[in-house]
Amino acid sequence: MAGKPKLHYFNGRGRMECIRWLLAAAGVEFEEKFIEQPEDLDKLRNDGSLMFQQVPMVEIDGMKLVQTRAILNYIATKYNLYGKDMKERALIDMYSEGVEDLGEMIMHLPLCPPDQKDAKIAQIKERTTNRYFPAFEKVLKNHGQDYLVGNKLSKADIHLVELLYYVEELDPSLLANFPLLKQIQLYPPRQGRRVARSWAPVTAQTTLGTIFFGREQPADR
């Protein structure tokens, strides 16, 4: 039996968070090795573990994968979260890229110089309400299904839910006009620790019973 995937990153969200979400949604237990000192990163580089000297890096199935998208795509394929054929995958990719574009803007906000911050936040809010949320709301409305693609959970749904939480952290009112998006969001934050119990009605087709995220282990599946 293969060992658990091992994630190498800083102890924070950054570019590793979406990978954590995806593994968690797939019900895969994983280990984490946090980079806390510059020496930790140097060691990884000197060992030749980082192909392009960058993290995230995930040790999985005998490989040391770098590049967030490559890692996400591998995990999604492995755990059947990538649609059933090429066309579904194209849609999943398209939606995931849109989520990532907005997510990247939010992720970079802490690095924004203070005098530009307000303008940046305004831009994020504008894009959220005028570009991205309407697009996803429309997709869900058009087919009337619970999931974005193929009536089945995929990485696109997981990335979108993660994004919804970040937008909510920024400004909860942004979700107000998007009822379908609100519906796929799960439990509201409780005291900063958020745990999701179930993704969607558990049916015979649902392959995931429980999602967890954060450092807590699931009680049961």
Which residues here bind other proteins, judged by CB under 8 A? 51-53, 61-63, 65-67, 69-71, 73-74, 77-78, 86-87, 89-91, 93-94, 96-98, 101, 131-132, 135, 138
Q: How far is the CB of 36 from other proteins (least distance, A)?
A: 25
Q: How far is the CB of 197 from other proteins (least distance, A)?
A: 31
Residue 162 CB: number of other CB atoms within 10 A?
19
Distance CA 102, CA 42 (A): 31
Q: How far is the CB of 191 from other proteins (least distance, A)?
A: 35
Q: How far is the CB of 58 from other proteins (least distance, A)?
A: 10
Tokens describing residue 37: 């000192």
17 vs 93 by CB, closer to other proteins: 93
Determine the longest span between alpha carbons in the chain, in angstroms.
Answer: 53
The answer to whether residues 178 and 133 touch, using CB atoms and an 8 Å cutoff, is: yes
90 vs 202 by CB, closer to other proteins: 90
User: How many residues belong to the chain?
Assistant: 221
Distance CA 206, CA 68 (A): 26
Distance CA 92, CA 140 (A): 13
Q: Which residue bears the tokens 């940046």?
A: 120
134 vs 218 by CB, closer to other proteins: 134
Q: How far is the CB of 218 from other proteins (least distance, A)?
A: 26
25 vs 57 by CB, closer to other proteins: 57
43 vs 131 by CB, closer to other proteins: 131
SS3 assignment, position 16? coil
